[in-house]
């Protein structure tokens, strides 16, 4: 009997030791799992935080650019408004000058004709009807007592304003309207940035200017 009791005690002790070991192993595994989860969560949290910081920084940068853009657009709008105002005032002054001295349109026609290539044919000088009368009188005065022959014809164009001139030929066209002439002046004053868009005549015709300069007095 004593041997059996001793054997039972040994088995119970062995079982108790094993249970403690299992509990320790379980506790250790739990701790390791917790530590791993904590570290992983911290890393994921840091990564998520960095992503959020980057997103907010991009948002703030976009907001700053959006706030600055209206000022840039406003500067461009103010500049264009000033240019438009200057051109409007210049047109008003020029038209008033034309009313006091209508003969100035003759010089406009002369300059426009001078820009045509010398070989141009079937040339038509389009003017406001009132300006056609002025230029016709100038031609009559110039041609009186002479055999001068013109290679172009005057043509009334009610769509043009006083002081405007448009030259048409078989292979070229000269836009010498007041708007174009003033735009060319603005382009020169602004450093030539708009010179190409505001060009009134083809500069390749400069060499032929002398051939047509005598077309008007």
Taking 50 as the threshold, does the pLDDT of residue 212 lie above it?
no
For residue 195, what pLDDT is reported?
A: 46
pLDDT tens for each residue of 26-50? 667 666 666 666 666 666 666 766 7
Q: Residue 124 forms beta bridges with which residues?
A: 153, 168
More confident residue, 22 or 14: 22
The whole-number average pLDDT for the span 89-101 is 61
Highest mean pLDDT among 80-94, 139-153, 157-171: 157-171
Taking 80 as the threshold, does the pLDDT of residue 61 lie above it?
no
More confident residue, 105 or 146: 105
pLDDT above 70 covers a percentage of the chain that reads 39
pLDDT above 90 covers a percentage of the chain that reads 1
For residue 215, what pLDDT is reported?
A: 43
CB distance 142 to 148 below 8 Å: yes
Taking 80 as the threshold, does the pLDDT of residue 159 lie above it?
yes
Rounded to whole angstroms, the Cα distance separating 35 from 87 reads: 77
Would you list the domain boundaries of the chain? Answer: 1-73, 101-215
What region, left, alpha or beta, does residue 192 occupy, with left being phi > 0 and alpha being psi -120 to 50 degrees? left
> Edge-to-edge strand order for the sheet containing 152-156?
152-156, 123-127, 166-168, 173-175
What lies within 8 Å, CB to CB, of 195 at 6+ separation is 184, 187, 188
Rounded to whole angstroms, the Cα distance separating 75 from 50 reads: 38
**Average pLDDT over the chain, rounded to whole?**
67
The whole-number average pLDDT for the span 85-93 is 61
CATH number of 101-215: 3.30.2320.30
What lies within 8 Å, CB to CB, of 165 at 6+ separation is 105, 108, 109, 112, 125, 126, 127, 131, 174, 176, 177
């Amino acid at each position: 009997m004593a041997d059996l009791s001793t054997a039972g005690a040994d088995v119970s002790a062995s079982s108790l030791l094993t249970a403690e070991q299992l509990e320790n192993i379980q506790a250790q595994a739990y701790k390791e799992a917790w530590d791993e989860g904590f570290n992983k969560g911290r890393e994921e949290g840091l990564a998520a935080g960095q992503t959020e910081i980057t997103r907010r920084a991009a948002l703030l940068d976009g907001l700053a650019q959006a706030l600055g853009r209206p000022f840039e657009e406003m500067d461009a709008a103010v500049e264009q408004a000033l240019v438009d105002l200057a051109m409007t005032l210049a047109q008003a002054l020029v038209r008033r000058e034309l009313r006091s001295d209508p003969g100035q349109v003759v010089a406009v026609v002369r300059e426009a004709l001078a820009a045509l290539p010398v070989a141009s044919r079937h040339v038509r000088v389009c003017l406001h009807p009132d300006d056609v009368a002025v230029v016709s009188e100038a031609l009559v005065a110039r041609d009186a007592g002479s055999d001068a022959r013109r290679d172009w014809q005057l043509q009334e164009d009610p769509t043009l304003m006083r002081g405007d001139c448009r030259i048409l030929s078989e292979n070229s066209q000269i836009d010498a309207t007041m708007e174009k002439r003033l735009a060319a002046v603005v382009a020169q004053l602004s450093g030539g940035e708009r010179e190409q868009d505001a060009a009134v005549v083809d500069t390749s015709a400069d060499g032929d200017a002398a051939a047509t300069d005598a077309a008007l007095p």
